[in-house]
Amino acid sequence: MYYLRAAFLAPGIALHEFAHHLFCILSGVKVRQAVYFRLGTPAGFVIHEEPELYRQIFAIVAGPLVVNSAAALLAFNLALRQAARAADPLGWAAALTLLALGLSAAPQAFPSRTDGSNLVHSSNRHLLKGNLVALLGYPAALHIVLVHLLRPLGSEWLYSLGLFYLALQGFIAVP
């Protein structure tokens, strides 16, 4: 069962780590090592230098939320469009593949516990330097902790369902 779950979530995990890597590059933070997916714990990771600016760590932590959510919305929307015009089994296979990709990306959108810890550490460090913007990190980190505490209740799947609902609303509204 572990391997089946890992195979299903692998694209979303890889996208999550790619988003961290991308936001490191965009914010000018050097990446030392990036593993997008592997069987093991953690399933992927990006090791980077300590960001100097607070906005850098915030962007790196938030990157997967932006990238995975956008990818899931796009995949869901394309799946709905494909299903609406699918007249043959191949068309339905494409729709189901897109749906699976969206369901892989969406639950991996949330920053990890390690991301939350890094955000708190950085918030503490920058707050001690007098950067009051660092106060924004505490509610964000609390949100990360709450999402992970609610994972046994399916918080990541509820989020996925919410993204699918948004895609469905956009699909219905656009002819």
pLDDT tens digits along 10-65: 999 999 999 999 999 999 999 999 999 999 889 999 999 999 999 999 999 999 99
Name the DSSP class of 129.
T
Per-residue confidence (pLDDT) for residue 172, from 0 to 100: 61
In a domain, 4, yes or no: no
Instruction: Domain of residue 132: give its range.
Output: 53-173
Give the global pTM.
0.90
Tally of domains in the chain: 1
In a domain, 7, yes or no: no
In a domain, 13, yes or no: no
In a domain, 151, yes or no: yes
In a domain, 130, yes or no: yes
Report the C-alpha gap between 139 and 122 in whole angstroms. Answer: 13
In a domain, 23, yes or no: no
Per-residue confidence (pLDDT) for residue 173, from 0 to 100: 53
